């Protein structure tokens, strides 16, 4: 079984988000941004404005965008950012930069790249903003953390329609459900990702400050409250962790990330019944593959093999390359006494990840078992 002591971490392009967005403030000047941040109880001198632009950024934006209506200018701007001759850019999934940092360093993750485009577009006087794509796209394991992924795009509302600009070039499907964000939310997303970076680096005390500032700027940002709970738990403050998780659940009662984290905490406290209740309350329609595996483990431990395998297969459908799901199915078949099925699944896992020590260990365990 996978231990429920794992934390589920939500970060944009690295994590899952579902939110209620305030209508204002949006399209703030830097001076207005400073004032708004201060009004929300955060010291603007200790956090950067993720959309602040420099003179060199304005000059580049004007050169690349050229004349025309806003959609045409933004399309040319996006093409320029994708052109390695004009803008050599190294994409990475780790580390979140401000727009100015991404422009200067020519690198960043998808949130950094999207915010860079938004900042450049706004420097042209075009009211473009960042938006969340309301669809969970997966999860990944990093040590004892499960990072739940989602996606952001840039969006322009113009002439009665929406134009979207995607900076994940591997994506072929245009997003249908998006939620445009105001500038405080965009800042909160940046801070949330920075907190996630620090938490994954083993710096929970530093992560705490980022998450605290994120929820101060966007108080209805449920995944940031969940991440704050993870950070509090990492520093050993259980009461504050419970409080953060409960606040997240007030906002999103069936959020699977929050409920998985709460279940993990309950289990660490020996409150098994409450842990299982939390897991069963999760909306599995929104669950990532790893969250489905955790729920499946609960069913397997209770001897409900069919339910467990259903959840494992569902996780595998969401991510056919997920070795964890194949191994979970193999263990479920083994628990039912289906040795040959378990062996076939382990062989499949071995093809997906030949060097995975978990695969090799289970293969050796099965080799030592007699056929029935």
How confident is the prediction along the chain (372 residues), in pLDDT tens digits per residue? 233 335 655 555 544 333 333 345 678 999 999 999 999 999 999 999 999 999 999 999 999 999 999 999 999 999 999 999 999 999 887 779 999 999 999 999 889 999 999 999 999 999 999 998 865 555 556 555 555 656 889 999 999 888 999 887 555 555 557 888 999 999 999 999 999 889 888 999 999 999 999 999 999 998 899 899 999 999 999 999 999 999 988 998 888 878 888 888 888 889 888 888 888 887 777 777 877 887 788 788 778 899 989 989 998 998 899 899 999 999 999 999 899 999 999 999 999 988 888 888 888 888 877 665
Burial of 170 (0-12, 13-18, 19+ CB in 10 A): exposed
Comparing CA positions, the residue from 352, 345, 143 lying closest to residue 362 is: 345
Question: Across the chain, where does the E strand assignment appear?
Answer: 7-11, 90-91, 107-108, 128-142, 145-158, 161-165, 178-180
CA distance 26 to 158: 16
- DSSP character for 336? T
Asked whether the beta carbons of 51 and 186 are under 8 A apart, the reply is yes
Q: With contact defined as beta carbons under 8 Å apart, do 114 and 82 qualify?
A: no
CB within 8 Å of 154: residues ≥ 6 apart: 74, 114, 117, 118, 121, 128, 129, 130, 131, 164, 165, 167
Are the beta carbons of 132 and 143 closer than 8 angstroms?
A: no
**pLDDT of 61:** 98
Is residue 224 packed enough to be buried (19+ CB in 10 Å), middle (13-18) or exposed (0-12)? buried
CB 110 within 8 A of CB 137: no
Distance, CA of 50 to CA of 188 (rounded, Å): 10
Dihedral-angle region of residue 307 (phi above 0 means left; psi in -120 to 50 means alpha; beta otherwise): alpha
pLDDT at position 318: 86
- In 3-state terms, what secondary structure has residue 271? coil
- The two tokens of residue 141 are 């394991």
Q: Is 46 exposed, middle or buried (0-12, 13-18, 19+ CB in 10 A)?
A: exposed
Rounded alpha-carbon distances, angstroms, from residue 167 to 13, 69, 113, 214, 228: 11, 21, 7, 24, 28
pLDDT of residue 38: 97
Instruction: Give pLDDT, residue 139.
Output: 55
Token duo for residue 28: 């703030």
d(CA 270, CA 264): 10
The alpha carbon torsion through 187, 192, 193, 196 (nearest 10 deg) reads: 160
Residues 337, 340, 343, 345, CA torsion sign: negative
Q: Whole-angstrom Cα distance, residue 294 to residue 326?
A: 14
For helices 183-200 and 110-123, angle between their N-to-C axes, nearest 10 degrees:
150
83: Cα within 13 Å, side-chain hemisphere: 9
Angle ∠(155,159,160) on CA atoms, nearest 5: 80
Which pLDDT score, from 0 to 100, does residue 8 have? 55
> How far is residue 262's CA from residue 279's CA, in Å, rounded to a whole number?
8
| Inter-residue contact 330 to 350 (CB < 8 Å) | no
Its pTM surpasses 0.85: no
- Please answer whether residues 231 and 87 qualify as being in contact, where contact means their C-beta atoms are separated by less than 8 angstroms: no
Confidence at residue 296, expressed as pLDDT on a 0 to 100 scale: 84
pLDDT of residue 142: 57
User: What is the helix (H) or strand (E) element at residue 306, kind and residue range?
Assistant: helix 305-318
Residue 340 CA to residue 147 CA, distance in Å, equals 33
Both tokens assigned to 197: 């970076």
Q: How far apart are CA 119 and CA 97, in angstroms?
A: 13
The predicted pLDDT at position 23 comes to 43
């Amino acid at each position: 079984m996978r231990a429920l002591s794992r934390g589920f971490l939500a970060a944009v392009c690295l994590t899952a988000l579902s939110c209620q967005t305030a209508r204002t403030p949006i399209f703030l000047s830097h001076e207005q941004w400073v004032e708004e941040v201060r009004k929300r109880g955060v010291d603007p001198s200790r956090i950067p404005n993720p959309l602040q632009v420099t003179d060199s950024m304005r000059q580049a934006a004007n050169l690349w965008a050229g004349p025309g209506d806003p959609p045409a200018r933004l399309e040319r701007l996006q093409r320029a950012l994708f052109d390695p001759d004009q803008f050599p850019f190294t994409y990475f999934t780790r580390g979140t930069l401000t727009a100015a940092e991404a422009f200067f360093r020519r690198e960043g993750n998808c949130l950094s790249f999207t915010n860079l485009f938004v900042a450049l577009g706004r420097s042209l006087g075009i009211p473009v903003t960042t938006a969340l794509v309301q669809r969970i796209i997966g999860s990944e394991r990093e040590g004892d953390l499960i990072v739940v992924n989602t996606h952001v795009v840039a969006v322009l509302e113009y002439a009665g329609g929406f134009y979207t600009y995607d900076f994940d070039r591997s994506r072929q499907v245009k997003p249908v459900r998006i939620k445009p964000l105001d500038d405080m939310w965009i800042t909160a997303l940046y801070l949330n990702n920075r907190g996630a970076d620090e938490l994954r680096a083993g710096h929970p005390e530093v992560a705490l400050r980022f998450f605290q500032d994120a929820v101060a700027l966007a108080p209805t940002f449920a995944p940031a409250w969940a991440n704050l709970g993870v950070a509090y738990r990492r520093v050993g403050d259980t009461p504050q962790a419970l409080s953060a998780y409960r606040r997240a659940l007030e906002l999103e009662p069936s959020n699977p990330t929050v409920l998985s984290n709460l279940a993990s905490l309950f289990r660490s406290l020996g409150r098994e019944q409450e842990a299982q209740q939390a897991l069963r309350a999760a909306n599995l329609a929104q669950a990532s593959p790893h969250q489905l595996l955790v729920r499946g483990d609960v069913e397997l431990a209770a001897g409900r093999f069919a339910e467990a395998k259903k959840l494992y297969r569902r996780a595998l459908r969401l991510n056919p390359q997920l070795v964890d799901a194949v191994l979970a199915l193999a263990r479920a078949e083994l628990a039912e006494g289906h040795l040959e099925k378990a062996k076939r699944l382990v062989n499949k896992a071995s093809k997906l990840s030949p060097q995975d020590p978990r695969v090799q260990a289970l293969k050796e365990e099965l080799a030592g078992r007699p056929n029935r």
